[in-house]
Amino acid sequence: MGNNAGGLYALTEEHEAIRAAVREIAEREIAPHAAEVDAESRYPIEAQKALTTAGFHATHIPEAYGGEGADPIATCIVIEEVARVDASASLIPAVNKLGSMPLILSGSEELKQAVLPSIAAGQAMISYGLSEREAGSDAAAMKTRARREGDSWVLNGTKAWITNSGVSSWYTVMAVTDPEQGAGGISAFVVHADDPGFAVGPKERKMGIKGSPTCELYFTDCTIPADRIIGEPGTGFKTALRTLDFTRPTIGAQAVGIAQGALDAAVAYVKERRQFGKAVAEFQGVQFMLADMEMQIEAARHLVYVAAARGEVGGPDLGRLCASAKAFASDVAMKVTTDAVQLFGGAGYTADFPVERMMRDAKITQIYEGTNQIQRMVIARSLLK
């Protein structure tokens, strides 16, 4: 693992207290609405209110901007515990981090003061606009353009698959400012929903995370003040990649939470369900499935925390660790939720139990914030260089 000292972490009493607090809120305020949120493809407003009231909607924002200044593991624990009952709701803290990290990493002090306090206070949310229909894994092939005009930047183009679009007020958007320079000609901007020439498209109809709206963003001569650029022109793609080292562990945390929720449901079910005159839990074939699920979740959880902790100290293998955590945890989530459906038998295939939703929700964790194929490329490149 290279410089191991930087990857060490210890869970503190404060971390355990955060877990207990979020679990209590999740069970009481979020879980009761999860099935309905999924069935109706509606935004989990109850979850947003509960998380915001308790200060768990954007824990990563530094105290200087009115935030909690939570460490990366604490933020992962929040996301994990929300995802355990509702993956859609866990995208509230996760995407607030994704959208604001470029600003935290590279933004001017003035821009941070203009944007971050409203997110910390829960008055606004922030989304992240990197992907386009024809620039997904190959994000540097984006076509959205920004040109400087006097005291403004003018954006034109379309972004796709933007999480929490429409409910967010702020959007971090990557656009080409110098087409000659390739990835080095991409810049990052902060756009507000009220900016002229900005519009949100219709909602995608999705397999899972149906409570979180996913839409296109349209920029038609969208005009923003010149000081809304994040960092220097041409540094946007670098900022985008650095951001992923801080946010890929949060997707890992989301995956771990979904998997844990599915295991918890499966354990409860097999203890109750009787076949051949005994509880299904008494069959060794079932016990071995549960044991494998538990081992994999625990391994994924620790890898996620190691990667999250490493973000604070950096190091040459940071990207590799974050890619490993995201890919491993999401693969585990897909396997565990699929096995959970199996353990429920025919009942697991119905919407009467949460495991079919968890299986559908788990799938996206293998795809977004870099497909697991891209993560494997990142890992291999790091090993071979």
**Predicted confidence (pLDDT) per residue in 50-59, tens digit:** 999 999 999 9
Cβ atoms of residues 246 and 225 within 8 Å: no
* Rounded Cα gap, residues 146 and 39, in angstroms: 39
Do 375 and 327 meet the contact criterion of CB atoms below 8 Å apart? yes
Burial annotation 324-363 (CB, 10 A radius, 16+ → b, else e) = bbbbbbbbbbbbbbbbbbebbeeebeeeebbbbbbbbbbb
Residue-wise pLDDT tens digits, 184-238: 999 999 999 999 999 999 999 999 999 999 999 999 999 999 999 999 999 999 9
Q: Kindly state whether residues 273 and 376 are assigned to the same domain.
A: yes
pLDDT in tens, 361-371: 999 999 999 99
pLDDT confidence bin for 2, thresholds 50/70/90: very low
Kindly give, in sequence order, each residue whose CB lies less than 8 Å from that of residue 281, ignoring residues fewer than 6 positions away: 267, 270, 271, 287, 290
For 305-314, what is the mean pLDDT?
A: 93
Compute the distance between CA of residue 114 and CA of residue 111 in angstroms, rounded to an integer. 5
Q: Are residues 296 and 364 in the same domain?
A: yes
Q: Are residues 257 and 329 in the same domain?
A: yes
Of the residues 68, 81, 132, 369, which is catalytic?
Answer: 369
Share of the chain above pLDDT 90, in %: 96
Q: Confidence band (pLDDT; 50, 70, 90) for 7?
A: low
The confidence score (pLDDT) of residue 8 equals: 78
pLDDT of residue 196: 98
- Does position 3 have pLDDT exceeding 70, yes or no? no
pLDDT for 296 equals 98
Helix ranges (DSSP H) in the chain: 13-25, 31-40, 45-54, 72-83, 87-106, 109-120, 236-272, 284-313, 318-344, 355-365, 372-384
67 and 162 belong to one structural domain: no
The last residue of one of the domains, among 178, 198, 232, is: 232
**How do residues 25-37 score in pLDDT, each as one tens digit?**
999 999 999 999 9
In this predicted structure, which of 77-81, 230-234, 316-320 has the lowest mean pLDDT? 316-320
Domain termination residue (choose one: 70, 88, 120):
120
pLDDT of residue 316: 87
Task: Return the bridge partners of 278, or none.
Answer: 275
pLDDT tens for 108-150 read 999 999 999 999 999 999 999 999 999 999 999 999 999 999 9
Q: Give me the mean pLDDT over the 263-273 stretch.
A: 98
Q: Are residues 204 and 112 in the same domain?
A: no
Same domain, 354 and 286: yes
List Cα–Cα distances, 292 to 281, 295, 335, in angstroms: 14, 5, 10
pTM assigned to the model: 0.97
**Cα atoms in the 13 Å half-sphere on the side-chain side of 305:** 18
Q: Is it the case that residue 253 has pLDDT exceeding 70? A: yes
Residues 247 and 377 in one domain: yes
Q: Are residues 336 and 261 in the same domain?
A: yes
Q: Final residue of a domain: which of 69, 92, 120?
A: 120
pLDDT at site 88: 98
- Domain extent for 65: 4-120
Q: What is the CATH number of the domain that holds 148?
A: 2.40.110.10
Give the whole-angstrom CA distance, residue 85 versus residue 180.
Answer: 47
- Dihedral sign computed on CA atoms, order 130, 135, 136, 137: negative
Token pair of 298, please? 């625990």
Please give the structure tokens belonging to residue 37. 């949120």
Q: What is residue 132's DSSP assignment? A: B
What is the predicted pLDDT for the residue at 315?
87
Q: What pLDDT does residue 4 have?
A: 44
Tell me, yes or no, whether 241 and 380 share the same domain: yes
Contacts of 24 (CB under 8 A, 6+ apart): none
* Separation CA 201–CA 184 (nearest Å): 29
For residues 363 and 168, what is the distance between their CA atoms, to the nearest angstrom? 24
Considering the domain architecture, whether residues 31 and 108 belong to the same structural domain is answered as yes
36 assigned to active site: no
Residue 215 per-residue DSSP state: E
Spatial separation of the C-alpha atoms in residues 253 and 240, rounded to whole Å:
20
Lookup: tokens for 183: 């990835």
What integer pLDDT is reported at residue 179 of this predicted model? 97
Number of folded domains in the chain? 3
171 contacts 155 by C-beta, under 8 angstroms: no
Q: Across residues 290-297, what is the average pLDDT?
A: 98
Q: Are residues 145 and 253 in the same domain?
A: no
Contact assessment for residue 190 and residue 170, using Cβ atoms and an 8 Å cutoff = yes
Question: Is the same domain home to 185 and 269?
Answer: no
For position 125, what pLDDT does the model report? 98
Residue 5: the pLDDT is: 46
